[in-house]
Structure 1
Amino acid sequence: MSRLTSFRCLWIGQTAANLADTLYIVLLIALTYQATQSAILTALIPIVTMSAQLIGGLLTPLVIDRFRLTTLLWSSQLGKTLLFTTLLLFLHALFDAGWLSVVLGLMAVFSLLDAVATPTRNGIVPRLVEKSELVKVNGWLASTDRTVQLAGWAMGGMLYAAVGATFSLWLCLGLHVLATLLMFGVRDPEAAEATTAEQQKRSGFQSVKEGWVTVWRLPLLRLVILMDVLEVLAEGVWIGAVMIVFVQQALGQDETWFGLLNAGYMAGMLLGGMLVSTFSKWVETRMGLLLLLGSVVYALLNAAFAVNSIAWLAVLLCLLMGLPHQLKAVIQQTLFQSQVSGRLLPKVFSVKMTVFNTGFALSALLMSLLTDVVGVRFVYLLAALLIGLATLLAWSKWKLLKQASVS
């Protein structure tokens, strides 16, 4: 089987799985609120999902050392499909019995498996495409992921209203079955892994710390992770609880504009991914410069959004913010893939995912509290300041970033 065929199986399979995952979260949120009439209990769904992904990111290196990437791909997807089948068959009975904790437990295990699949996919992509095509492929994958996410959140509510939760969940199961079958079609052309003896010599602690040590020893990746820490601490301003306050208090609008702001941001990220993919050759020779400029523009747009009071301008700013955000994300992804090779790459992506999940959870809590204490405009200005600090950090390491501009 050719690399191109394997990549297509991976791409289509992951797209189907991502769409199913987004739809299922939307549907479970709606069903949980319908069954409990409690916003607090409903809020447990994203909390449990994020917490499980955080734990999964920490534990993923343990399985990476013991199994081939292709094995992890199909087994994690097969596990998600079987788990989703169990959830679907017993969901209504669990809700009727008031056993929300069981539902949340199944969702947690589902998210643990997903935490294995994400760094594994990112780690195997460079083995299936030429190095010269990484920027283009990453831009393409980023655009696909955002399109699916945007479509999933939009379709979830419409499906729930039009055909009901049961049929919609069966549709999700069909997408998971398709994804599982396609994962079996992925072949790793660089399947030579560490020998069993070598694997046995590596303790669990060594497996977990290896990705962190790799990131810390590589100056460019260390810089990207430190920038990520500052930027993800700003990401909490985009959770619904903070955005809805901004819409009402700063813009003086109703909840409709909350959806428009989200749509604008997602559309900007989609457009950004498409532009990077289209002009990949130009981007790959200027990655360090574009990473720095993207941070500058992103910080300035966040500051402008924080002080703005015009609703339509807020939507435009969200659209524009999505462009540098996605540009930076694609460049960071490519830098990781080009700096690390072999079995260490999924571990390094696991580190990146762990940093993001931890930082986002802390940011969501901090920004929500600050919104109530000091006001919503302050938290958006604080977000702009944090991104500005990441920009200054990048500027202070310009010589290092400049090296990343060489194709």
Structure 2
Amino acid sequence: VGMFIVMKSVPPLVMYLFVVVISILDGFAAPVSYAIVPRYATDLGKANSALSMSGEATQLVGWGLGGLLFATIGLLSTTLIILLLYIISSFMMLFLPDAEVEVLESEANLDILVKGWKSVARDPRLRLFISANLFEIFSNTIWVSSIILVFVTELLNKTESYWGYSNTAYSIGIITSGLITFRLSEEFLAVKWKSILFPLVSIAIVTLAIILFPNAQIFLFFSALVGMLSQLKEVPESVFLQETVEENNLVNVYSVIEVISTLSFSVFVLLMSYITENFGITISFLLSAICLILEAILIYIRRDYLK
């Protein structure tokens, strides 16, 4: 903000540096956000549903409100408002009650850094979670803007703005599903593997239906349905991790998952972009559905780990 005020503009290289720093800080925040849930909540199903639902609702409102503020009051004023919101958010975090944390003074810095990786390597349940998640990450790359825009423009014959409607429908689906899982959390967590398996198979079917029935109006419905189904499986997955891993080690494991997910997503986006460019968007959607089916098969085979 200070550079905007003093310089009125920021060099592109400096802006990229800021984006990298913000991404790094966000990488710290994401694992901690889910790792602290067991320390403050007794009903993990409802807590994770509320956390995901509030985050998605904030993004849904924030994108539209942010664009409106930028168009009406300009970049500098909008950035100052964002800075103020960050300050208020950080201040509110001070009111969280203190949680008891077991401090292991015998651990060296290197041990702390590799603690999460050792846990993943030793626990077959965590290895299953990450292996299955890799299939889903590859599948989800079809929703990246550079790929889904090809579907929107080539098969639906719509402009780029229609992609925004799809994102909104997706977010509405997540919020709706969050309300359902919040209300029926006990039922969804009774048998976790079924609560993960059913949405996976359903999303695969919807993905195939999208390319079989390329209709603009139906696509919005399918987008909301995918958002809803993805949220249905996310809550039992989060609860599974929080119940499987010790509280003191949870943030380390979440950090490992975040690193693996981010790196694999970057590679898979490049791979899916290449496939889309050379073989067409239909093949990309077909591969996405196949990956979801393979993940579902893996979950079913190892369902004993998810009880």
Shorter-normalised TM range: over 0.9
Aligned to 2:30: 118
Aligned to 2:2: 89
One-letter amino acid of the counterpart of residue 168, structure 1: T
Shift of 1:186: 2.1
Aligned to 1:99: 11
Aligned to 2:45: 135
The answer to whether 1:350 aligns with 2:259 is: no
Cα gap change, 1:327 to 1:94, in 2 (>3 Å): farther
Aligned to 1:319: 224
Q: What is the TM-score when the length of structure 1 is the normalising length?
A: 0.72
The answer to whether 1:280 aligns with 2:185 is: yes
Aligned to 1:382: 287
Shift of 1:389: 0.9
Shift of 1:144: 0.6
Question: How far does the alpha carbon of each residue in 1:351-402 deviate from its partner, in whole angstroms, 9 at most, with x for none?
Answer: 111122112211221222222111111111111111111111111112333x
Contact 2:193/2:299 (8 A) holds in 1: no
Question: How far does the alpha carbon of each residue in 1:69-122 deviate from its partner, in whole angstroms, 9 at most, with x for none?
Answer: xxxxxxxxxxxxxxxxxxx110365574x6221222123222222211221221
In terms of mean alpha carbon deviation, does 112-121 or 134-143 score higher? 112-121
Shift of 1:343: 2.0
Structure 1 alignment gaps of length 5 or more: 1-87
Contact 1:235/1:364 (8 A) holds in 2: no
Q: Secondary structure, in 3 states, of the residue corresponding to 2:231?
A: helix
One-letter amino acid of the counterpart of residue 210, structure 1: K
The match for 1:148 among 54, 58, 65 is 58
Structure 2 alignment gaps of length 5 or more: none
Contact 1:236/1:365 (8 A) holds in 2: no
Contact 2:189/2:195 (8 A) holds in 1: no
Q: Secondary structure, in 3 states, of the residue corresponding to 1:192?
A: coil
Correspondence 1:252-291 to 2 at 5 A: 252-291=157-196
Question: Greater relative contact order (Cα 8 A, min sep 6): structure 1 or 2?
Answer: 2
Question: How far does the alpha carbon of each residue in 1:285-315 deviate from its partner, in whole angstroms, 9 at most, with x for none?
Answer: 1222111111111111112113321111111
Contact 1:128/1:188 (8 A) holds in 2: no
Q: Secondary structure, in 3 states, of the residue corresponding to 2:287?
A: helix
Number of aligned residue pairs: give it: 307
Correspondence 1:319-338 to 2 at 5 A: 319-338=224-243
Contact 1:305/1:314 (8 A) holds in 2: yes
Cα gap change, 1:370 to 1:342, in 2 (>3 Å): same
Q: What is the TM-score when the length of structure 2 is the normalising length?
A: 0.94
In terms of mean alpha carbon deviation, does 98-107 or 361-370 score higher? 98-107
Contact 1:146/1:270 (8 A) holds in 2: yes
Q: Identity, % of aligned pairs?
A: 26
The match for 2:299 among 394, 402, 406 is 394
Q: Secondary structure, in 3 states, of the residue corresponding to 1:233?
A: helix
One-letter amino acid of the counterpart of residue 260, structure 1: Y
Aligned to 1:22: none
- RMSD of Structure 2 on Structure 1 (CA): 1.7
Q: Secondary structure, in 3 states, of the residue corresponding to 1:234?
A: helix
Contact 1:94/1:103 (8 A) holds in 2: no
The answer to whether 1:208 aligns with 2:113 is: yes
